[in-house]
Structure 1
């Protein structure tokens, strides 16, 4: 937060969630370091030796998880919404700071302060992890297929997602802004406005009867549309002036007459009032304002597109694009999703490169991304089945969660590779070793992360509450993927490798037999 203050980053409804997110993520690094340290003390090492061993084992995975998490949040800079960019930058800075505190300050303070460790025969969480490991290993084919099938079926819910939101509805009914907005729409007028600048292409052209008739046609078309409560254009003033002067409520037939009416009207206005809010200075273009009631961003995009098609077909010389805050808001969620997909792509590239470099195994680095991408797909599928609507708040979920869910995979694989390379275990025993050494820490960090993000569910601002709930679901699914899918993938890789070796051995045997 100090970083945000020094760099002039404003706190908004989105970026104000940064402290809670940083606090939640900071717990994860500490848990892994402390978990290993306690384990080593129970094995008989003294406190200093346990701290050194814990840092030796966890420094690389903790560094990698911090970097991948920071990358995930930094890709939020691809967002078209500045508050999400601010959130990403603040959290990324906080994650790096949390890493430094975890590997520098935490070990130092533990070394100084007295701690008591109760020696127990076995922790229940570790026993549960061991049972899960044996279950997954003994039934790896069933677990592999079952996880893929269930994940695929749930992911199909993505096709039920409706990209739609309504800004005012993001606020809970307990807030005054929501109460006032609902009252206005129920009793007065609409809150959403689309504005058009209709250009006549000539100076003083707004007095041209042909131009005014085209504007009138466009105005009348809009009045026929559903949810439109009012349309304001220069033709209303012209027809009213014509009625007052000659009793006919219609567009003046002559250009000179229309210009004189307009001049007379402007001269009769009190000092300080004019038509500059409806006309430009050289009177070549007029403003048209459309007020709509109880419409969503999807409705606004649809009617704006419909209006553009009408202009192209009926009055191509007046063609223009709708503008205003409502149009900006209606398009930002859709554009933000496209931008964040680009961000997620770059996050995926960078995280893949880091994983491959850290694991020193190209195939394993790429395959390990499967259990990290699937949680977001399944989470969106579940959201599509039970909720259906996805708005601006959920458009950043993939980038936000990708760096977080990689953490458990990094810790699991680091222990797996350590068992394979240093302890020379086979695949099954290495998986058991990973579950036993890091399984409980993964449980604890997941519970901490899910609890931290679930706090946002109590927010009265639904953009934050939806983001928190979806992130909590994704992180929970990520643990399931790391416990069920990742070990079975490792076993499948080893089986494939053994089959290849066996085939090559048989081929060599046949070749030698033929030669003899």
Structure 2
């Protein structure tokens, strides 16, 4: 690798770039066109992120459940909580709305007031038949009141399905075809058909309709992600361009940089399409991330070009030095940044692996684009005039550098004391960090659909399905009375958990069959006796909509497997683990393991288990990133002792951020878990710049430690400040998101990078000065494996250079 970081190599690269400018621009254009053609392959995720490996036992159990019953999250619910519903006009309109929904191709069946059936006796000949609950299409006020009383007082089976007794809320359950739940057809139905239909009903009837259910939540959540991609890109371009212009006061430099990162964004989308990866909450942040990381490359290149022009005014020489010096330095820093993202590739989580692959590829791509486009573009432009170089002499930057030097020179003890205090406080905060596996926590709380979620949590005790799969280990075993009684016992236990809704299973259908058989008397809402089962159980098959759809929802075609569904409130990981810990001993007691096999699954459980998996992998991936960068440092400086001095200033900001999370109540979750690897990969760049410059200064100043530290601080302080400010405000862009996790990611990475800048500009030089005899001396800092090219050694001012463009 040292070959690729040597002066000779980069001098050759510079000449190659400047002598083949037109060819390179054509290649960039062709690659951009090709990757643009791959945009058609981009697709948005229509499911929640599955954070577990595909072969994980929990995933395999979930897949087994899906094989038996199909997609579990196919239920959308609409509810009205208004006494005015039980007036003739509005009552009929509500039933017509449910009838309209049946006509849509995406809808399998519905359970609404108009779909309810009851068992009724008939004479001559004597028989029982299932008849509609609503017998009149346009009932008068008296009849509507009769329906209301019968529903809430005599039909306990439909509690939780069609109504809630808490405040007499009425809902319609819409079951989508399972084969379209995870496709774009679901989005089309929700956005283009369901929402306009509901809005029109609300306008005409003056009733507020609450809508929820996982397909609905997923669709609107995905739509928010799509909408925010454009917002993030626009905001990142605006913020970084304003900061860039503030630093350089040049429209030309700003436009060139913006064009460069826009091409980088186009490539990022193209790579996503080329690899056929879905756009998720994570991959959606990559395009703006490329802008934020690409602009510092542009700053380094353009700032160096203008410095060289100011020195000698020779454009050809300036361009060659830009590529040779800055290309050498930024290659290394971009590699370390990419490695922070690349550690996610080594996890078994498909979601994180895809994020790591696309992010690391595009970070390196934006480096290549910057290195090619900026020098080539400037080579076709006139040499900057003196007025374009005024920004190089900003007094306030000089004041900032003077303050840093005073702190390092006179207040090193204070720096160490503050660092130790921050470390101690952070460790206390770390012990307060909680883990969150909630599906809803990152969703936008200001969105209407989130308010609807809260309504359904209050009325129906949750919207996130938790599934229990019961294997009776024999065909038609589910409908055995002994099995039904065991299931009823488990349902009673589940009902005791405040965080879970009333469970629904075939038990409810059988109990309702008995009630219906006894003329609808609610006191007979119970399982049949052994004498009753033979003539009551057949009626269960006719309940729940046309063709007994509800029965097939809860019992598989062989009658061997039963499904019990309950809905969870938005609870945290610890609460979910407590519920599991309490339930499993009782499940195993009710269903002996030698005769039954019981599994607990569902999207909510998968997500919670996935979060725990990520937390375990966070330590592994971050440790790997630290280890790789430590190896790089040791190889760079041929000294294992330099690992200590390079890692301390970068680990302290991570610990401070973790402590902040504990004190501020920001949990560890899939979004915030990225903070540490991202921030570490970026912040270590400052350390590399500083130590490389320090090594040069030691050589130039005959190994005089103090003079070298202060010279390196003044030289690198300005560029570190510039890039850190861009990164701080660039990542702050994510705080405009409506997703809590993205907001936390932006704020935490911004804060970490700010701490890292101060740590590298204050703590790092303070350590070098305090440990000069042990570490920062000539014996330790031998001739390094690589050298970020010394200007004095490689570019003597009186040397005549060939024009590299010729």
Structure 1 residue 312: Cα displacement: 3.2
Structure 1 residue 46: Cα displacement: 3.4
2:557 pairs with 1:281? yes
Supply the distance in 1 between the matched residues of 2:708 and 2:458 (Cα, whole angstroms). Answer: 64
Supply the distance in 1 between the matched residues of 2:325 and 2:319 (Cα, whole angstroms). Answer: 10
2:499 pairs with 1:227? yes
Matches within 5 A, 1:64-83: 64-78=332-346, 82-83=350-351
2:445 pairs with 1:167? no
Structure 2: 5+ residue stretches without partners: 1-268, 780-806
The structure 2 residue matched to 1:87, chosen from 329, 339, 355, is 355
Structure 1 residue 286: Cα displacement: 1.4
**Under a length normalisation based on structure 1, what TM-score does the superposition of the two structures give?**
0.88
The corresponding residue for 1:510 is none
Structure 1 residue 89: Cα displacement: 2.7
For each residue in 1:44-103, what CA deviation from the matched residue of structure 2 results, as whole angstroms up to 9, or x when unmatched?
Answer: 463433443444443332111111111111222355665544433332222111211232
Supply the distance in 1 between the matched residues of 2:306 and 2:543 (Cα, whole angstroms). Answer: 86
Q: Structure 1 residues 459, 156: closer, same or farther in 2, change over 3 A?
A: same
Whether contact under 8 Å (1:194, 1:326) holds in the other structure is yes
The corresponding residue for 1:272 is 547
The structure 1 residue matched to 2:513, chosen from 227, 237, 241, is 241
Supply the distance in 2 between the matched residues of 1:267 and 1:131 (Cα, whole angstroms). Answer: 82
Q: Structure 1 residues 380, 259: closer, same or farther in 2, change over 3 A?
A: farther
Structure 1 residue 283: Cα displacement: 1.8
Supply the distance in 2 between the matched residues of 1:39 and 1:152 (Cα, whole angstroms). Answer: 43
Supply the distance in 1 between the matched residues of 2:547 and 2:754 (Cα, whole angstroms). Answer: 62
Structure 1 residue 147: Cα displacement: 1.6
The structure 1 residue matched to 2:694, chosen from 416, 426, 442, is 416
Supply the distance in 2 between the matched residues of 1:185 and 1:359 (Cα, whole angstroms). Answer: 59
Supply the distance in 2 between the matched residues of 1:173 and 1:388 (Cα, whole angstroms). Answer: 16
Whether contact under 8 Å (1:155, 1:379) holds in the other structure is no
More helix by share: 1
Q: Structure 1 residues 136, 228: closer, same or farther in 2, change over 3 A?
A: same
Q: Structure 1 residues 177, 80: closer, same or farther in 2, change over 3 A?
A: farther
The corresponding residue for 1:509 is none
Q: Which segment drifts farther, 86-95 or 462-471?
A: 86-95
Structure 1 residue 194: Cα displacement: 0.9
Q: Which segment drifts farther, 468-477 or 325-334?
A: 325-334
Whether contact under 8 Å (2:510, 2:540) holds in the other structure is no
* Superposed CA RMSD: 2.9
Q: Structure 1 residues 142, 189: closer, same or farther in 2, change over 3 A?
A: closer
Supply the distance in 1 between the matched residues of 2:308 and 2:394 (Cα, whole angstroms). Answer: 13
Structure 1 residue 325: Cα displacement: 1.1
Q: Structure 1 residues 424, 122: closer, same or farther in 2, change over 3 A?
A: farther
**Under a length normalisation based on structure 2, what TM-score does the superposition of the two structures give?**
0.58
SS in 2 for 1:322: strand
Q: Structure 1 residues 307, 71: closer, same or farther in 2, change over 3 A?
A: same
SS in 1 for 2:556: coil
Structure 1 residue 460: Cα displacement: 1.0
The corresponding residue for 2:51 is none
2:581 pairs with 1:305? yes
2:633 pairs with 1:355? yes
The corresponding residue for 2:275 is 7
Q: Structure 1 residues 436, 45: closer, same or farther in 2, change over 3 A?
A: farther
The structure 2 residue matched to 1:176, chosen from 448, 453, 456, is 448
The structure 2 residue matched to 1:262, chosen from 530, 534, 537, is 537
Matches within 5 A, 1:388-427: 388-427=666-705
Whether contact under 8 Å (1:197, 1:285) holds in the other structure is yes
How many residue pairs were aligned? 500
